[in-house]
Amino acid sequence: MLLRELYQEVIIDHNKNPRNFYKLDLYTHHAEGFNPLCGDRISLYFEVKNEKIENISFQGSGCAISMASSSLMTENLKGKTILEARKIFSEVHAMLTGKEVGETEKIGKLTVLAGVKEYPARVKCATLAWHALASAMEHKHV
Amino acid sequence: MYNVEEIRKDFPVLRQMIHGKPLVYFDNAATTQKPQCVLDVILKYYQEDNANIHRGVHTLSERATRKYEEARECIQKFIHAKCKYEIIFTKGTTESINLVAHSYGGSQLQPGDEIIISQMEHHSNIVPWQLLCEQKKCILKVIPINSRGEILLEDYKNSLSSKTKIVSITHISNVLGSVNPIKEMIALAHERGAIFLVDGAQAPAHTRIDVQDLNCDFYAFSSHKMLGPTGVGVLYGKEKYLEIMPPYQGGGSMIRQVSFEKTTYADLPYKFEAGTQAIAGVIGLAEAVRYLTALGLENIENYEKKLLSYIENKILEIPEITVLSQALKKSSILSFVYKGVHAHDIATILDHEGIAIRAGHHCAMPLMSHLGVDASCRASLALYNTQDEVDSFVEGLKKVKEVFKSVIT
């Protein structure tokens, strides 16, 4: 495994210039992701209308993997339905933990994160935003 | 003459490649590696002497008991305690501190009493006191540190009062490497009638400990950070305090007589050693102490001092790095951050070069928030590390720029 396969250009880019990196003024869902072992933290916000994620954003600090994963996630999920988001969550989770991935086309650019599965200590960095997503989908913010 | 190449031969784990590169182990503040002699005595104990101690009258039990008690004397001499029964074996520094908080704090403190710690403490020297304060309605006071990472002695003096009952301070900071002026701090605490516990986790493999000279009331340390096995630690306590403390745990070995009406407790140190102890671990720790003593703590300290100044100079080659630890008196620990790159990414890149460092909050979250960083990198050196390894480490750090060049520029 080459280091470059973990730190792909896309990851470096999203770490440097995270997309959707702000707090939404109006949101219906919100969750905090915190990894007490390493101190990575993210706040995730999204607005759901008619079962669709109209807007999504995040803020936080952490390593390149956690920041890029969060940024790529928001980019991917904008415009998706909640049902689709749940499917993508399962696919990404499977990819990051080295399990069989069903429909790769759904996760698109997120496949750049696949290298993480070779680094067991770093998997939690990549999954942080996704667990925040799952948690936010469970607890609607009113 | 300190021959590091010969010393390295005693540590089998160092002879390996990681990702095709020779292992450079710079995570000694987390745990140190073990010399062959320590591994040998543990194996030999299980092969030849394994039995429960202080119980059997048979030969194996007598042998195991003798070795266990010889280990206690060995530790007593190593830290220069007055009596061997002032040495209590525990699971580690954390349990040693919890024992004092629970048993001394639980029995001696009154609501409104104060406990003093510092801003640079490890979680294991914060949380036990918070639990005690919650239970006994006591007050926890925290001594600040200056920008170099040194305890502010004036603030400490001003915090001490007749209400202060316990002061618990780290000998050497696990994040900053700062060596605290504990002897002076102990004297000041005693003037106010407070007892003083030293969290010695980071000290015994790097500097000589003399508990009578320090005049501390308790000194806590771990075997695994001083070339010994995991699962064993020591609590040194002055006899007069250990005597008045109630047992920490109940069970076998710690009793004199048990009936359902009334149980009386064993004498020191057994009052605090309930249940079957980590016998092999204790014997392994004693061997580690013999190994350290044979090398000489003064020699180790001098060697590590040179190595520290070497790494501190060498790291200046990388302008993106800011060193967090600037104390005037420092142990061989270097904490740093790299501009624009998170500590975990640095640690992964270095791991690819075979270099093991720690990245994160180092179990000292309040200190990290004081320093204004979420996470930092820590290279912590030990008696078997070399200048060549420091060179590899600095070369490894130069790879960070290659991977992250688009971020930094």
pLDDT tens for B90-138 read: 999 999 999 999 999 999 999 999 999 999 999 999 999 999 999 999 9
CA-derived radius of gyration, chain A:
14
The C-alpha angle with vertex A24 and arms to A22 and A26, in degrees rounded to 5, equals 170
ipTM of the modeled complex: 0.88
pLDDT confidence tier of residue B185, bands split at 50, 70 and 90 = very high
- β-partners of residue B338 are B321, B341
- What is the rounded distance in angstroms from the CA atom of residue B182 to the CA atom of residue B186? 6
Q: Check pLDDT > 90 for residue B331.
A: yes
Q: How many helices (H) and strands (E) does chain B have?
A: 15, 17
The mean pLDDT value for B77-94 works out to 98
Q: Tell me if A7 and B345 make a contact (CB, 8 A cut-off).
A: yes
pLDDT confidence tier of residue B253, bands split at 50, 70 and 90 = confident
Q: Are B252 and B276 in contact (CB under 8 A)?
A: yes
Task: Provide, as residue numbers in chain A, all residues whose Cβ is less than 8 Å from the Cβ of B404.
Answer: 7, 12, 64
> How far is the alpha carbon of A9 from chain B, nearest alpha carbon, in Å?
9
Q: Tell me if A39 and B375 make a contact (CB, 8 A cut-off).
A: yes
Q: Tell me if A39 and B406 make a contact (CB, 8 A cut-off).
A: no
- What is the rounded distance in angstroms from the CA atom of residue A15 to the CA atom of residue A8? 11
Instruction: Output DSSP code: residue A39.
Output: -
pLDDT of residue B406: 63
> How far is the alpha carbon of B122 from chain A, nearest alpha carbon, in Å?
14
pLDDT confidence tier of residue A140, bands split at 50, 70 and 90 = low
| Average pLDDT score, chain B | 96
Cβ atoms within 10 Å of B24's Cβ, excluding its own = 24
pLDDT digits (tens, 9 = 90+) for B135-184: 999 999 999 999 999 999 999 999 999 999 999 999 999 999 999 999 99
> How far is the alpha carbon of A16 from chain B, nearest alpha carbon, in Å?
6
pLDDT digits (tens, 9 = 90+) for B201-223: 999 999 999 999 999 999 999 99
Cα separation values, A117 from A98, A113, B363, Å: 6, 8, 26
Half-sphere exposure of B194 (CA within 13 A, CB side): 26
Q: Check pLDDT > 90 for residue B231.
A: yes
- Residue type (1 letter), A132: A
Which residues of A have a CB under 8 Å from any CB of B? 3-4, 6-7, 9, 12-13, 15-16, 37-41, 61-65, 67, 119, 122, 125
Q: Are B101 and B107 in contact (CB under 8 A)?
A: no
- β-partners of residue B151 are B145
Q: Tell me if B361 and A39 make a contact (CB, 8 A cut-off).
A: yes
The mean pLDDT value for B74-84 works out to 98
Q: Tell me if A119 and B359 make a contact (CB, 8 A cut-off).
A: no
Cβ atoms within 10 Å of B161's Cβ, excluding its own = 12
pLDDT confidence tier of residue A106, bands split at 50, 70 and 90 = confident
Q: Tell me if A65 and B359 make a contact (CB, 8 A cut-off).
A: no
Cβ atoms within 10 Å of A120's Cβ, excluding its own = 10
Which residues of B have a CB under 8 Å from any CB of A? 341-345, 348-349, 352, 359-361, 365, 368, 374-375, 399, 403-404, 406-407
Percent of chain B residues past pLDDT 70, beyond the cut: 99
pLDDT digits (tens, 9 = 90+) for B269-319: 999 999 999 999 999 999 999 999 999 999 999 999 999 999 999 999 999
Percent of chain B residues past pLDDT 90, beyond the cut: 90
Domain boundaries, chain A: 3-138
To probe the interface with A, which of B342, B403, B408, B409 has the most A CB atoms within 10 Å? Answer: B342
Task: Provide, as residue numbers in chain A, all residues whose Cβ is less than 8 Å from the Cβ of B370.
Answer: none
pLDDT of residue B269: 96
The mean pLDDT value for A113-141 works out to 88
pLDDT of residue B286: 98
CATH class as words, domain A3-138: alpha beta
Per DSSP, helices labelled H in B225-296 are 239-244, 279-295
Tokens 């000292």, residue located: B364
Q: Check pLDDT > 80 for residue A38.
A: no
pLDDT greater at residue B86 or residue A103? B86
Task: Please state which of the ranges A40-49, B25-34, B250-259 shows the lowest mean pLDDT.
Answer: B250-259
Q: Which pTM value belongs to this model?
A: 0.94
Q: Tell me if B348 and A6 make a contact (CB, 8 A cut-off).
A: yes
Q: Tell me if B342 and A63 make a contact (CB, 8 A cut-off).
A: yes
> How far is the alpha carbon of B137 from chain A, nearest alpha carbon, in Å?
28
Task: Please state which of the ranges A40-54, A128-142, B327-341, B365-379 shows the lowest mean pLDDT.
Answer: A128-142
Task: Please state which of the ranges A131-140, B244-253, B378-387 shows the lowest mean pLDDT.
Answer: A131-140
pLDDT of residue B297: 98
pLDDT of residue A142: 47
Closest residue on chain B to A16 (Cα): B407
pLDDT of residue B293: 98
Q: Tell me if A62 and B374 make a contact (CB, 8 A cut-off).
A: yes
Question: Quick one: residue B360, left, alpha or beta (phi over 0 = left, psi -120 to 50 = alpha)?
Answer: left
- What is the rounded distance in angstroms from the CA atom of residue B389 to the CA atom of residue B336? 18
Q: Tell me if A39 and B360 make a contact (CB, 8 A cut-off).
A: yes
Nearest to A64 among B345, B360, B399 (CB): B345
What domains lie within chain B, and their CATH numbers?
4-30+296-408 (3.90.1150.10), 38-293 (3.40.640.10)
Q: DSSP letters of B304-366?
A: HHHHHHHHHHHGGG-TTEEE----SSB-SEEEEEETTB-HHHHHHHHHHTTEE-EEE-TT-HH
pLDDT of residue B361: 86
Q: Which of B74, B138, B363, B377 is catalytic?
A: B363
> How far is the alpha carbon of B202 from chain A, nearest alpha carbon, in Å?
21
- What is the rounded distance in angstroms from the CA atom of residue B360 to the CA atom of residue B344? 7
Task: Provide, as residue numbers in chain B, all residues whose Cβ is less than 8 Å from the Cβ of A7.
Answer: 345, 403-404
pLDDT confidence tier of residue B25, bands split at 50, 70 and 90 = very high
pLDDT confidence tier of residue B362, bands split at 50, 70 and 90 = confident
Name the 3-class secondary structure at B288.
helix
pLDDT digits (tens, 9 = 90+) for A63-100: 999 999 999 999 999 999 999 999 999 999 999 988 87
**Alpha carbon A24 to its chain's center:** 17
Name the 3-class secondary structure at B53.
coil
- Residue B380: is it exposed, middle or buried by C-beta count within 10 angstroms (0-12/13-18/19+)? buried
B363 catalytic, yes or no? yes
Nearest to A38 among B341, B375, B403 (CB): B375
Closest residue on chain A to B344 (Cα): A63
Task: Provide, as residue numbers in chain A, all residues whose Cβ is less than 8 Å from the Cβ of B359.
Answer: 38
pLDDT greater at residue B305 or residue A1? B305
Task: Please state which of the ranges A57-71, B23-37, B247-261, B282-296 shows the lowest mean pLDDT.
Answer: B247-261
A and B: number of Cβ contacts within 8 A: 55
